[in-house]
Amino acid sequence: MKVLVTDPISEAGMALLREAGHEVVTEFEAEGDALRSAVADANALVVRSGTEVTREVLEAAEDLVIVGRAGIGVDNIDVDAATDAGVVVANAPEGNVRAAAEHTVAMTFATARSIPQAHDRLTGGEWAKGAFLGTELKGKTLGVVGLGRVGQEVAKKLDSLGMEPVAYDPYISEERADQLGAELADLEAVLDRADVLTIHTPLTPETEDLIGEAELAAMAGGYLVNCARGGIVDEAALAAAVADGVLEGAAVDVFGEEPLPTDSPLLDVEDVVVTPHLGAATAAAQENVATSTARQVVAAFRGEPVANALNAPSIDESAFPRVEPYVHLAETAGNIAVQLVDSRLESVEVVYEGDIAEEDVDLVTASALKGVFRPLEWQVNAVNAPRIAEERGIGVSETKRRRAEDFQSLVTVTVSDGETDVGVCGTLYADDDARIVRIDGYRVDAIPGGRMMLTRNTDEPGVIGLIGSVMGAHDVNIAAMFNARETIGGEALTVYNVDQEVPEAALGELEADDRIIETKYVSLNG
């Protein structure tokens, strides 16, 4: 597989990819047409914040499996476009958490004690001991906007130094905030109470310009630290607030435009400390994010769950061996079920019974949807299958039951056109031997795979012989047969594994016989 790396990453990450047998190509200057050309035959794209992964870039990369972001933020990646294309987007959220948190703490002390300003005066020959009166942080209120991984780490570090954390984060529970020793409050209250406000949210439409002139005025007398993302804080308003004495100072590591333009108002205010996006700039952090990203690329190539996928189901590494066999089983069941329905789909239901119901099955459900949509000739995989269902207005439901009748575990995929439901149920025997054990209510014991023909017929002598004769006349070899019936002399359903495609003429010849109720040819080969 070809891995294209368009931003510098640690050699440790690239070495891991090479050791896994993949070709690594670096194109650090590529953009525009050059980038689209470089990515055209790539199977993975690894970036940092410098490369803009747009819809046009993704459309140029027909063989792309994954975009790996060696870091946390993915605002430079069009995640929606990647999902539409069935491309996994994964980041490395843990690799630089400590580095980013430590830089935030350092910037907090730097602005509160005017360390860079004092350094500049002293190296300039001025002993300005009386010019700087710092602020002690012990006993002060720390306002945290965004209590994610970095925000949590910052809150813990500064809490241990005597600050009192109060946080705004609408996506975290009060219980979790209590565990971290932080009080949850709305943004207005946090701004009003914070002596130091530190930002730790991604840049989204909701957080863009979150902190503007009014918000800065609300925290009069305090300090602001932003080591998260540029664009969250109005930079011109921040510069004015510090220059006018509304705020005591600020420390900023990230900017709306990078590199920071030389005419930025932030550069004209002495009490604003600026650094050139150094939050993750430690040797350990760079190696961590590179190797984490590389491992996720390798997992994606192997068809394994990607630990930090942002647009695809993921699963804990330790649980994957228990779930993995059901991924293909669910896809196969969905694939068979949809080929037994003649009209437009309205809903898909996936039911888990027995031991499998105790597991995290998001990946299995996505695979079932992949199986449902694949015969419809859509470009589909476990990444975009849920999106396709939503866009097509197809309802998806998931049910779990602790007990499974007669089996240790069962997975049933039922598709419906609003009037007719068709369910296909599968299980695993010893050594992960997959079996289809129920089709549309009929108990069978069929081996899923390759080409299959299903017939519904009256249960009477000579019918199976007729089917065998017709198949033989059309040069279709029957490899295996699995028969089920409701009652003696009632209706029967038979599953045939066949070695060749069953021609329409053969199906028509069978259905011309009054004893044959219905025939369906099912291909699991794509």
Q: What is the pLDDT of residues 382-411, one digit of tens each?
A: 888 888 888 788 999 999 998 887 899 999
Determine contact, residues 450/525, Cβ cutoff 8 Å. Answer: yes
Helix, strand, coil % over all residues of the chain, rounded to 5: 35, 25, 40
- Considering the candidates 229, 295, 438, 451, report the single residue annotated as catalytic: 229
Cis peptide before 259 (omega within 30 of 0): yes
CB neighbour class for 372 (10 Å; exposed up to 12, middle 13-18, buried from 19) = buried
Give me the mean pLDDT over the 177-204 stretch.
Answer: 94
Cα–Cα distance for residue pair 289/99, rounded to 1 Å: 11
pTM of the model: 0.68
Cα–Cα distance for residue pair 333/348, rounded to 1 Å: 12
Cα–Cα distance for residue pair 50/7, rounded to 1 Å: 6
pLDDT of residue 378: 57
Cα–Cα distance for residue pair 348/83, rounded to 1 Å: 20
Cα–Cα distance for residue pair 333/356, rounded to 1 Å: 15
Domains of the chain in start order, with CATH, are: 2-93+284-301 (3.40.50.720), 97-274 (3.40.50.720), 320-523 (3.30.1330.90)
pLDDT of residue 382: 81
- Considering the candidates 277, 374, 438, 451, report the single residue annotated as catalytic: 277
Determine contact, residues 378/345, Cβ cutoff 8 Å. Answer: no
Determine contact, residues 184/144, Cβ cutoff 8 Å. Answer: no
Give me the mean pLDDT over the 226-250 stretch.
Answer: 97
Instruction: List alpha helices for 161-244, DSSP H.
Output: 174-179, 187-193, 213-218, 235-243
Instruction: Mark whether 193 is an active-site residue.
Output: no
- Considering the candidates 126, 258, 317, 391, report the single residue annotated as catalytic: 258
CA dihedral 49, 52, 57, 61 (to 10 degrees): 0
For 350, the token pair is 């996936």
Q: How confident is the model at residue 307 (pLDDT cuts 50, 70, 90)?
A: confident
pLDDT for residue 37 is more than 70: yes
Residue pLDDT, tens place only, 467-526? 999 999 999 999 999 988 877 878 899 999 999 999 999 999 999 999 999 999 998 865
Q: How confident is the model at residue 377 (pLDDT cuts 50, 70, 90)?
A: low
Instruction: Mark whether 277 is an active-site residue.
Output: yes
pLDDT of residue 319: 82
For 213, the token pair is 């002139």
